[in-house]
Amino acid sequence: MIKKIGLLNFHYSNNNYGAVLQAAALNKAIEMLGYQVETIDFIPEVTVQPKSVRNMVGDILRLLGLRAKAPKLKPMENEHVFEDFRLTWLPRSEAKYCNLSDLNTISTEYSTVIVGSDQVWRPAMTQEFALAYFLSFVPESCKRVSYAASFGIDYWQEKNIRTSTANVVKEVQKFHAVSVREDSGVGICKNVFDVNAEHVLDPTLLVGREFFEETIKHSPVSDHPADIVYYKLDVNHKFLSQLKQIEEQLDYRSEDIYYSQVDGKYFFTPVTQWLVKLRDSKLIISDSFHCICFAILFEKEFIYYPNAERGMSRLESLLKSIGLEHRICRDQNLLNNSAETYLTKKIDYMLVNRILEDSRHTSFTFLKNAIS
Protein backbone atom coordinates (compact mmCIF):
# COMPACT_ATOMS: atom_id res chain seq x y z
CA MET A 1 0.00 0.00 0.00
CA ILE A 2 1.29 3.47 -0.92
CA LYS A 3 1.36 5.62 2.17
CA LYS A 4 0.03 9.14 2.11
CA ILE A 5 1.37 12.46 3.34
CA GLY A 6 -0.65 13.83 6.26
CA LEU A 7 -1.02 17.57 6.95
CA LEU A 8 -1.85 19.19 10.28
CA ASN A 9 -2.93 22.83 10.54
CA PHE A 10 -5.92 25.06 11.27
CA HIS A 11 -7.89 23.94 8.22
CA TYR A 12 -11.13 23.69 10.21
CA SER A 13 -11.68 27.41 10.78
CA ASN A 14 -15.17 28.71 10.03
CA ASN A 15 -14.29 32.41 10.18
CA ASN A 16 -10.72 32.73 8.88
CA TYR A 17 -10.12 32.84 5.13
CA GLY A 18 -6.36 32.59 5.43
CA ALA A 19 -6.45 29.44 7.53
CA VAL A 20 -8.64 27.61 5.00
CA LEU A 21 -6.84 28.89 1.90
CA GLN A 22 -3.31 28.17 3.15
CA ALA A 23 -4.37 24.61 4.01
CA ALA A 24 -5.65 24.07 0.47
CA ALA A 25 -2.49 25.66 -0.93
CA LEU A 26 -0.12 23.35 0.97
CA ASN A 27 -2.18 20.36 -0.11
CA LYS A 28 -1.85 21.53 -3.72
CA ALA A 29 1.90 22.11 -3.41
CA ILE A 30 2.49 18.53 -2.26
CA GLU A 31 0.25 17.20 -5.01
CA MET A 32 2.40 19.15 -7.46
CA LEU A 33 5.38 17.14 -6.19
CA GLY A 34 3.55 13.93 -7.13
CA TYR A 35 2.42 12.69 -3.72
CA GLN A 36 -0.93 11.53 -2.41
CA VAL A 37 -1.83 13.88 0.42
CA GLU A 38 -4.67 14.62 2.80
CA THR A 39 -5.30 16.89 5.74
CA ILE A 40 -5.65 15.14 9.09
CA ASP A 41 -9.15 16.16 10.17
CA PHE A 42 -8.18 17.28 13.66
CA ILE A 43 -10.67 19.69 15.17
CA PRO A 44 -9.62 20.14 18.79
CA GLU A 45 -12.22 20.37 21.51
CA VAL A 46 -10.69 23.33 23.26
CA THR A 47 -11.42 23.76 26.94
CA VAL A 48 -12.94 27.15 27.69
CA GLN A 49 -10.26 29.29 29.34
CA PRO A 50 -10.93 32.06 31.87
CA LYS A 51 -10.71 35.49 30.26
CA SER A 52 -7.59 37.55 30.73
CA VAL A 53 -7.76 41.07 32.15
CA ARG A 54 -7.03 42.41 28.64
CA ASN A 55 -9.97 40.48 27.18
CA MET A 56 -12.29 41.63 29.94
CA VAL A 57 -11.26 45.25 29.34
CA GLY A 58 -11.94 44.72 25.64
CA ASP A 59 -15.44 43.45 26.42
CA ILE A 60 -16.12 46.56 28.56
CA LEU A 61 -14.89 48.88 25.78
CA ARG A 62 -17.17 47.13 23.29
CA LEU A 63 -20.14 47.51 25.64
CA LEU A 64 -19.38 51.22 25.93
CA GLY A 65 -19.14 51.53 22.16
CA LEU A 66 -15.48 52.51 22.26
CA ARG A 67 -14.34 49.46 20.34
CA ALA A 68 -16.21 47.74 17.54
CA LYS A 69 -17.18 44.14 17.97
CA ALA A 70 -15.11 41.65 16.05
CA PRO A 71 -17.14 39.84 13.35
CA LYS A 72 -16.63 36.50 15.08
CA LEU A 73 -18.72 37.81 18.01
CA LYS A 74 -21.73 38.31 15.74
CA PRO A 75 -24.11 35.40 14.97
CA MET A 76 -23.27 34.52 11.38
CA GLU A 77 -25.89 32.91 9.16
CA ASN A 78 -23.60 31.10 6.73
CA GLU A 79 -20.50 29.61 8.36
CA HIS A 80 -21.00 26.76 5.86
CA VAL A 81 -19.23 28.80 3.15
CA PHE A 82 -15.89 27.67 4.59
CA GLU A 83 -16.94 24.02 4.57
CA ASP A 84 -18.23 24.44 1.01
CA PHE A 85 -14.72 25.47 -0.04
CA ARG A 86 -13.09 22.61 1.87
CA LEU A 87 -15.37 20.03 0.27
CA THR A 88 -14.12 21.07 -3.17
CA TRP A 89 -10.47 21.94 -2.56
CA LEU A 90 -9.25 20.16 0.57
CA PRO A 91 -9.08 16.34 0.80
CA ARG A 92 -9.33 15.24 4.43
CA SER A 93 -8.87 12.02 6.35
CA GLU A 94 -11.91 9.78 6.78
CA ALA A 95 -11.24 9.65 10.50
CA LYS A 96 -11.98 12.73 12.57
CA TYR A 97 -9.93 13.59 15.65
CA CYS A 98 -10.91 15.79 18.58
CA ASN A 99 -8.24 15.24 21.23
CA LEU A 100 -4.76 13.86 21.82
CA SER A 101 -5.96 10.35 22.62
CA ASP A 102 -7.72 10.26 19.23
CA LEU A 103 -4.56 11.38 17.45
CA ASN A 104 -2.54 8.70 19.22
CA THR A 105 -4.49 6.09 17.23
CA ILE A 106 -2.70 7.21 14.05
CA SER A 107 -0.08 4.54 13.39
CA THR A 108 1.41 3.63 10.04
CA GLU A 109 -1.12 5.27 7.73
CA TYR A 110 1.26 8.08 6.74
CA SER A 111 4.85 8.01 5.56
CA THR A 112 5.26 11.67 6.58
CA VAL A 113 3.24 14.10 8.68
CA ILE A 114 3.76 17.79 7.97
CA VAL A 115 2.67 20.47 10.41
CA GLY A 116 2.05 23.93 9.00
CA SER A 117 1.54 26.52 7.88
CA ASP A 118 -0.06 29.23 10.02
CA GLN A 119 0.52 29.96 13.72
CA VAL A 120 0.65 26.28 14.67
CA TRP A 121 3.64 26.87 16.98
CA ARG A 122 2.03 29.67 18.98
CA PRO A 123 1.01 28.09 22.30
CA ALA A 124 -1.35 30.96 23.12
CA MET A 125 -3.46 29.72 20.20
CA THR A 126 -3.06 25.95 20.53
CA GLN A 127 -3.43 25.94 24.33
CA GLU A 128 -3.69 22.41 25.77
CA PHE A 129 -3.07 20.93 22.31
CA ALA A 130 0.31 22.62 21.85
CA LEU A 131 2.26 19.33 21.84
CA ALA A 132 -0.03 17.89 19.16
CA TYR A 133 1.17 20.63 16.80
CA PHE A 134 4.73 19.59 17.59
CA LEU A 135 3.61 16.12 16.37
CA SER A 136 3.93 14.32 19.70
CA PHE A 137 1.45 11.69 18.45
CA VAL A 138 3.46 10.70 15.36
CA PRO A 139 5.06 7.22 15.59
CA GLU A 140 8.79 6.73 15.10
CA SER A 141 8.19 4.97 11.77
CA CYS A 142 6.82 8.22 10.29
CA LYS A 143 8.80 11.30 9.28
CA ARG A 144 8.02 14.57 11.04
CA VAL A 145 8.33 17.75 9.01
CA SER A 146 7.28 21.35 9.57
CA TYR A 147 6.48 23.54 6.60
CA ALA A 148 6.32 27.30 7.23
CA ALA A 149 5.30 26.81 10.85
CA SER A 150 4.80 30.16 12.56
CA PHE A 151 5.27 31.28 16.16
CA GLY A 152 3.11 34.31 15.31
CA ILE A 153 5.40 36.63 17.26
CA ASP A 154 9.16 37.06 17.37
CA TYR A 155 9.80 35.24 20.66
CA TRP A 156 8.93 31.89 22.25
CA GLN A 157 5.70 32.38 24.18
CA GLU A 158 6.53 29.92 26.93
CA LYS A 159 4.38 31.52 29.61
CA ASN A 160 1.19 30.53 27.77
CA ILE A 161 1.98 26.85 27.33
CA ARG A 162 0.57 24.18 29.59
CA THR A 163 3.55 21.93 29.21
CA SER A 164 7.22 22.57 29.70
CA THR A 165 9.51 23.94 27.02
CA ALA A 166 11.68 20.89 27.66
CA ASN A 167 8.88 18.64 26.34
CA VAL A 168 8.56 20.79 23.22
CA VAL A 169 12.32 20.63 22.64
CA LYS A 170 12.16 16.86 22.94
CA GLU A 171 9.51 16.68 20.19
CA VAL A 172 11.09 19.21 17.82
CA GLN A 173 14.41 17.40 17.90
CA LYS A 174 12.67 14.32 16.46
CA PHE A 175 11.80 16.23 13.27
CA HIS A 176 13.37 15.11 10.00
CA ALA A 177 13.27 18.67 8.65
CA VAL A 178 12.14 22.01 10.08
CA SER A 179 11.08 25.14 8.24
CA VAL A 180 9.40 28.30 9.50
CA ARG A 181 7.48 31.17 7.93
CA GLU A 182 9.33 34.10 9.50
CA ASP A 183 13.01 34.90 9.78
CA SER A 184 12.58 35.37 13.55
CA GLY A 185 11.43 31.74 13.73
CA VAL A 186 14.83 30.58 12.54
CA GLY A 187 16.38 32.20 15.60
CA ILE A 188 13.78 30.74 17.98
CA CYS A 189 14.42 27.24 16.64
CA LYS A 190 18.17 27.63 17.08
CA ASN A 191 18.22 29.41 20.42
CA VAL A 192 15.32 27.66 22.17
CA PHE A 193 15.09 24.23 20.52
CA ASP A 194 18.69 23.81 19.31
CA VAL A 195 17.59 22.82 15.80
CA ASN A 196 18.36 24.36 12.42
CA ALA A 197 15.35 25.71 10.53
CA GLU A 198 14.91 27.03 7.01
CA HIS A 199 12.96 30.18 6.20
CA VAL A 200 10.35 29.36 3.51
CA LEU A 201 7.32 30.92 1.82
CA ASP A 202 3.78 30.66 3.12
CA PRO A 203 1.88 28.01 1.09
CA THR A 204 -0.33 30.65 -0.56
CA LEU A 205 2.73 32.35 -2.06
CA LEU A 206 4.36 29.00 -2.77
CA VAL A 207 1.67 27.71 -5.16
CA GLY A 208 1.22 31.12 -6.76
CA ARG A 209 -1.69 32.88 -8.39
CA GLU A 210 -2.60 30.15 -10.89
CA PHE A 211 -4.06 27.81 -8.28
CA PHE A 212 -6.34 30.48 -6.85
CA GLU A 213 -7.47 31.61 -10.29
CA GLU A 214 -8.52 27.99 -10.79
CA THR A 215 -10.62 28.04 -7.61
CA ILE A 216 -12.51 31.17 -8.66
CA LYS A 217 -12.91 30.66 -12.40
CA HIS A 218 -16.61 29.82 -12.05
CA SER A 219 -17.37 32.52 -9.45
CA PRO A 220 -19.61 35.44 -10.43
CA VAL A 221 -17.90 38.76 -11.14
CA SER A 222 -19.40 42.11 -10.19
CA ASP A 223 -20.03 44.66 -12.93
CA HIS A 224 -19.02 47.38 -10.46
CA PRO A 225 -16.34 46.03 -8.10
CA ALA A 226 -15.34 48.19 -5.16
CA ASP A 227 -12.24 50.33 -5.66
CA ILE A 228 -11.07 49.78 -2.07
CA VAL A 229 -11.64 46.51 -0.24
CA TYR A 230 -10.75 46.05 3.38
CA TYR A 231 -10.45 42.93 5.49
CA LYS A 232 -10.01 44.05 9.06
CA LEU A 233 -10.02 41.60 11.93
CA ASP A 234 -10.25 44.55 14.31
CA VAL A 235 -12.40 47.45 13.08
CA ASN A 236 -12.77 50.60 15.14
CA HIS A 237 -14.33 54.02 14.65
CA LYS A 238 -10.99 55.67 13.97
CA PHE A 239 -10.29 53.33 11.06
CA LEU A 240 -13.76 53.79 9.56
CA SER A 241 -13.46 57.57 9.84
CA GLN A 242 -10.14 57.58 7.98
CA LEU A 243 -11.52 55.20 5.38
CA LYS A 244 -14.37 57.61 4.66
CA GLN A 245 -11.87 60.42 4.11
CA ILE A 246 -9.90 58.24 1.67
CA GLU A 247 -13.09 57.51 -0.28
CA GLU A 248 -13.76 61.23 -0.59
CA GLN A 249 -10.19 62.14 -1.51
CA LEU A 250 -9.88 59.49 -4.21
CA ASP A 251 -13.55 59.37 -5.26
CA TYR A 252 -13.47 55.65 -4.53
CA ARG A 253 -16.05 53.25 -3.16
CA SER A 254 -15.00 50.85 -0.40
CA GLU A 255 -16.35 47.48 0.73
CA ASP A 256 -15.87 45.32 3.80
CA ILE A 257 -15.18 41.89 2.32
CA TYR A 258 -15.25 40.05 5.65
CA TYR A 259 -19.00 40.03 6.12
CA SER A 260 -22.17 41.86 5.13
CA GLN A 261 -25.38 42.77 6.93
CA VAL A 262 -28.79 42.09 5.39
CA ASP A 263 -32.04 42.72 7.30
CA GLY A 264 -30.20 42.64 10.61
CA LYS A 265 -28.46 39.35 9.84
CA TYR A 266 -24.75 38.86 9.18
CA PHE A 267 -23.27 36.83 6.34
CA PHE A 268 -19.68 35.87 5.59
CA THR A 269 -18.45 36.54 2.07
CA PRO A 270 -18.09 33.11 0.36
CA VAL A 271 -14.43 32.10 0.11
CA THR A 272 -14.15 32.25 -3.67
CA GLN A 273 -16.03 35.57 -3.76
CA TRP A 274 -13.59 36.92 -1.17
CA LEU A 275 -10.76 36.12 -3.58
CA VAL A 276 -12.62 37.66 -6.53
CA LYS A 277 -13.19 40.91 -4.63
CA LEU A 278 -9.47 41.11 -3.81
CA ARG A 279 -8.49 40.41 -7.41
CA ASP A 280 -10.85 43.02 -8.88
CA SER A 281 -10.03 45.86 -6.48
CA LYS A 282 -7.63 48.80 -6.86
CA LEU A 283 -6.49 49.16 -3.25
CA ILE A 284 -6.49 46.63 -0.39
CA ILE A 285 -6.28 47.62 3.28
CA SER A 286 -5.89 44.87 5.85
CA ASP A 287 -4.40 43.78 9.16
CA SER A 288 -4.38 40.14 8.04
CA PHE A 289 -1.23 38.28 7.02
CA HIS A 290 -2.92 36.16 4.38
CA CYS A 291 -4.97 39.00 2.92
CA ILE A 292 -1.69 40.80 2.23
CA CYS A 293 -0.33 37.60 0.66
CA PHE A 294 -3.24 37.64 -1.79
CA ALA A 295 -2.78 41.34 -2.47
CA ILE A 296 0.77 40.43 -3.55
CA LEU A 297 -0.35 37.43 -5.61
CA PHE A 298 -2.96 39.53 -7.44
CA GLU A 299 -0.42 42.37 -7.85
CA LYS A 300 -2.49 44.99 -6.04
CA GLU A 301 -1.62 48.21 -4.29
CA PHE A 302 -2.07 47.62 -0.58
CA ILE A 303 -1.62 49.03 2.90
CA TYR A 304 -0.88 46.85 5.90
CA TYR A 305 -2.71 48.50 8.80
CA PRO A 306 -1.35 46.47 11.70
CA ASN A 307 -2.73 45.51 15.06
CA ALA A 308 0.35 45.15 17.26
CA GLU A 309 -1.56 42.99 19.76
CA ARG A 310 -1.92 40.26 17.13
CA GLY A 311 1.80 40.31 16.35
CA MET A 312 3.53 42.12 13.49
CA SER A 313 6.58 39.91 12.93
CA ARG A 314 4.76 37.80 10.33
CA LEU A 315 4.16 40.68 7.95
CA GLU A 316 7.36 42.50 8.75
CA SER A 317 9.34 39.41 7.80
CA LEU A 318 7.46 38.89 4.53
CA LEU A 319 7.43 42.51 3.39
CA LYS A 320 11.08 43.02 4.27
CA SER A 321 12.02 39.99 2.16
CA ILE A 322 10.37 41.47 -0.96
CA GLY A 323 11.31 45.10 -0.35
CA LEU A 324 7.83 46.32 0.60
CA GLU A 325 8.16 47.06 4.30
CA HIS A 326 7.28 50.72 3.51
CA ARG A 327 3.72 49.49 2.91
CA ILE A 328 3.24 49.14 6.66
CA CYS A 329 1.20 52.04 8.03
CA ARG A 330 3.07 52.27 11.33
CA ASP A 331 1.46 55.55 12.34
CA GLN A 332 -2.24 54.81 12.07
CA ASN A 333 -3.04 58.51 12.13
CA LEU A 334 -1.49 58.73 8.65
CA LEU A 335 -3.68 56.20 6.83
CA ASN A 336 -5.19 58.96 4.66
CA ASN A 337 -1.78 60.16 3.47
CA SER A 338 -0.60 56.60 2.92
CA ALA A 339 -3.45 55.73 0.56
CA GLU A 340 -2.85 58.65 -1.80
CA THR A 341 0.92 58.18 -1.71
CA TYR A 342 0.78 54.47 -2.42
CA LEU A 343 -1.51 54.90 -5.39
CA THR A 344 0.82 57.43 -7.01
CA LYS A 345 3.92 55.34 -6.30
CA LYS A 346 3.09 51.92 -7.69
CA ILE A 347 4.63 48.66 -6.51
CA ASP A 348 7.19 47.25 -8.93
CA TYR A 349 5.68 43.78 -9.22
CA MET A 350 8.19 42.71 -11.84
CA LEU A 351 10.87 42.97 -9.16
CA VAL A 352 8.66 41.45 -6.45
CA ASN A 353 7.83 38.45 -8.64
CA ARG A 354 11.51 37.82 -9.40
CA ILE A 355 12.22 37.65 -5.67
CA LEU A 356 9.22 35.38 -5.10
CA GLU A 357 10.28 33.01 -7.87
CA ASP A 358 13.67 32.54 -6.22
CA SER A 359 11.97 31.88 -2.88
CA ARG A 360 9.54 29.43 -4.50
CA HIS A 361 12.43 27.43 -5.89
CA THR A 362 14.11 27.29 -2.46
CA SER A 363 10.86 26.45 -0.68
CA PHE A 364 9.83 23.71 -3.11
CA THR A 365 13.33 22.25 -2.85
CA PHE A 366 13.03 22.13 0.94
CA LEU A 367 9.63 20.45 0.73
CA LYS A 368 10.76 17.91 -1.87
CA ASN A 369 13.89 16.96 0.07
CA ALA A 370 12.03 16.81 3.38
CA ILE A 371 9.53 14.29 2.04
CA SER A 372 11.86 12.21 -0.08
Residues 184-203 have a mean pLDDT of 97
**Lowest-pLDDT choice from 61-65, 214-218, 224-228, 333-337:** 61-65
Strand (E) or helix (H) holding 228: strand 228-231
> Are 57 and 181 within one domain?
yes
pTM value is 0.90
> Are 108 and 242 within one domain?
no
> Are 249 and 181 within one domain?
no
Q: Mean pLDDT, the chain, as a whole number?
A: 89
Output the pLDDT for position 75. 84
Is the pLDDT confidence value at 239 over 80? yes
Q: Are 34 and 370 a contacting pair, CB within 8 Å?
A: no
Output the pLDDT for position 338. 75
Q: Rounded distance, CA 349 to CA 322, Å? A: 10
Residue 163's pLDDT band (cuts 50, 70, 90): low
> Are 59 and 188 within one domain?
yes
Residue 62's pLDDT band (cuts 50, 70, 90): very low
Q: Rounded distance, CA 244 to CA 240, Å? A: 6
Output the pLDDT for position 1. 53
Cα–Cα nearest to 289, from 8, 21, 9, 14: 21
Output the pLDDT for position 139. 92
Sign of CA dihedral 30, 36, 42, 43: positive
> Are 180 and 240 within one domain?
no
Domains of the chain: total: 2
Higher pLDDT, 72 or 355: 355
CATH of residue 263: 3.40.50
90-139: pLDDT as tens digits: 999 999 999 999 999 887 789 999 999 999 999 988 988 999 999 999 99
Q: Is 349 exposed, middle or buried (0-12, 13-18, 19+ CB in 10 A)?
A: middle
Alpha-helical (H) ranges within the chain are 17-32, 53-63, 80-89, 100-103, 123-126, 165-172, 183-192, 203-207, 209-216, 237-250, 271-279, 289-297, 313-321, 335-344, 349-371
